[in-house]
Structure 1
Amino acid sequence: MNTDVNTAERNPTLVFIPCLSGAPWSAEQLAPYGEAPKRALRLPEGVNDIERYAAYVETAIADLDDYVLVGDSFGANIALALATRRPQGLRALILSGGFAANPVDSKPWKALMRAIGKARGPFYRQLALRAHAHRLASPFDGEGQVPWSEARSRELFLTGTPAASFGARVEASLTADYVDVLGQVQVPTLILTPSHDVLIGENASKIMLAGISDAREVVLPRTGHMFRFSHPATYAAAVKGYLAALPTTRQSADA
């Protein structure tokens, strides 16, 4: 077996995979990454399977030979699913507020989530999105570089997420389970965790840390599940700090 060490001639492209809203990361959220190569994706509509989302992302970045997946919340589950396929060119994995399998273990909450996912019309706009925004909230949302609120979370979904797509993504999140294949992730992985997250809970990061061989966790104090939105500079600083500490070379083995 011959092993070649190739020095990276440029920075890897940061591929940003969005949350359940499906809307691509905004210019405000991307600005702290400066001149780094970036690609912000929008999720396809009406898809209810994480593997199909992973296939979509894989196709969308097929032209990249050196990249980092940055997935937030639902997007973290998509990034994780793609990483288990060991795609060529993947240098590192960033998972924020994410999970390997549905973190909701309460049967009543699961039933409520499925009911919320089926809401349409005013029931979606007035009831489902208000309930979801409440679960996303934390006491620290107003303290960040971009003060956030439940109203802003609801507006995010109102403006960019059709009810059918919201429901499909809820179903995808409830049925995804990558716990048994976490060992297939073979790249350095940062698990970026807010200090307060009612939606995801504490066990999600512990499961990923236990299953991914080269994973570390950074907990950002006084942040909540929406920290990508409320604390974009703090979030980006953690990502950039982690990537700056990674080796500047990549190894490729050819039999």
Structure 2
Amino acid sequence: MSTLTLLHGIGGASWSGLALAQPEARLLDWPLPGYGGSKPLPETSFASLSAALAARLDREGIARTDLLGHSIGGMLALDFALRFPERIRGLVLYATTPAFGGKDPTFAEAFLAERLAPLDAGQDMARLAAESILPMFRPGTPAARVREAVAAMAAVPEAAYRATVRCLTTFNRRDDLPQLAMPVLLIAGEADPLAPPKTMARMQAAIPDARLAVLPGCGHLGHLEDPEGFAAAVRGFLRDLPPA
């Protein structure tokens, strides 16, 4: 039996109702440490997160998995696939980039200040979620999907959010993309300003075995804006993989 492991973005998991794999496949929705009631790590880094994911797969008895990551979850999926290539059958990198920002260190400092300023000023995660998530959706997205995403981020402990935001700014695997040894699906939202299609097309060009799917009209949350199109892209990719 194949397994599809899901890695959510910085705002928490919002995968419910998505038919991402074949009925006989197993889904493992792994919350980042500190999310979903899980225990936080003493130190949050991509190395420690990849090690924690490997340990979870070991506990579940999963030697090899298909891995799908969204946003920072896509960064972690990329990092994990480079550290543990023997454990990945197929890799889905969704609305993500191979590195954070540019080479100017002041960009990371400005990003952290902007992202954490509301919390530093006393705002809670519920208000931050509403202000951050709502503008990401295209008009016409079902209200239930919007509520799911806002509720997921509102439930993230502030300490976990802060640690994950800081971890995000350290990521750079751009030069390692040619080392990916497994089939890769890249999924971009056509209107995503955070991981635009042109960025993901450059990733595709650098990866030996990669395909790119672009979700028309979608932003950073295409799995909620166009769940059918997103799921169809994932299922088609998994169907083309060699047997587990």
Superposition TM-score tier, normalisation by shorter sequence = 0.7 to 0.9
The count of aligned residue pairs is 233
Question: Given the alignment of the two structures, is residue 83 of structure 1 paired with residue 81 of structure 2, yes or no?
Answer: yes
Identity %: 24
Question: Given the alignment of the two structures, is residue 16 of structure 1 paired with residue 12 of structure 2, yes or no?
Answer: no
Q: 2: distance between equivalents of 1:143 and 1:52?
A: 36
1:175 match: secondary structure: coil
Q: 2: distance between equivalents of 1:42 and 1:245?
A: 27
**How far did residue 130 of structure 1 move?**
4.4
Task: Tell me if the contact between 1:14 and 1:69 (Cα under 8 Å) persists in the aligned partners.
Answer: yes
The aligned amino acid for 1:125 is M
1:82/1:112 CA distance change after superposition, 3 Å: closer
2:31 to 25, 42, 53: 42
Unaligned stretches of 5+ in structure 1? 1-9, 250-255
Q: 1: distance between equivalents of 2:151 and 2:109?
A: 24
Q: 2: distance between equivalents of 1:225 and 1:56?
A: 26
**How far did residue 26 of structure 1 move?**
4.2
1:112/1:126 CA distance change after superposition, 3 Å: farther
Larger Rg: 1
Q: Map Cα deviations across residues 18-70 of structure 1 (whole Å, 9 max, x no partner).
A: 111344x5442357753322111111025531221111111111221331001
Which residue does 2:190 correspond to in 1? Answer: 195
Which residue does 1:253 correspond to in 2? Answer: none
Which residue does 1:100 correspond to in 2? Answer: 98
**How far did residue 196 of structure 1 move?**
1.2
Cα RMSD after superposing both structures: 2.9
Q: 1: distance between equivalents of 2:126 and 2:64?
A: 43
Question: Given the alignment of the two structures, is residue 208 of structure 1 paired with residue 198 of structure 2, yes or no?
Answer: no
1:243/1:26 CA distance change after superposition, 3 Å: closer
Task: Tell me if the contact between 1:116 and 1:124 (Cα under 8 Å) persists in the aligned partners.
Answer: no
Which residue does 1:117 correspond to in 2? Answer: 116
1:70 match: secondary structure: strand
The farther-off stretch of 50-59 and 68-77 is 50-59
Which residue does 1:236 correspond to in 2? Answer: 231
Task: Tell me if the contact between 1:19 and 1:74 (Cα under 8 Å) persists in the aligned partners.
Answer: yes
Q: 1: distance between equivalents of 2:7 and 2:191?
A: 22
Q: What is the TM-score with the length of structure 1 in the denominator?
A: 0.78
The aligned amino acid for 1:189 is V
Q: 1: distance between equivalents of 2:56 and 2:69?
A: 15
1:121/1:61 CA distance change after superposition, 3 Å: farther
**How far did residue 86 of structure 1 move?**
3.6
Q: What is the TM-score with the length of structure 2 in the denominator?
A: 0.81
**How far did residue 201 of structure 1 move?**
3.0
**How far did residue 197 of structure 1 move?**
0.6
1:55 to 51, 66, 73: 51
**How far did residue 115 of structure 1 move?**
3.8
Q: Which has the higher contact order (CA 8 A, sep 6+)?
A: 1
Unaligned stretches of 5+ in structure 2? 35-39
**How far did residue 168 of structure 1 move?**
1.1
The aligned amino acid for 2:229 is T
**How far did residue 82 of structure 1 move?**
0.4
Which residue does 2:62 correspond to in 1? Answer: 64
Task: Tell me if the contact between 2:95 and 2:194 (Cα under 8 Å) persists in the aligned partners.
Answer: no
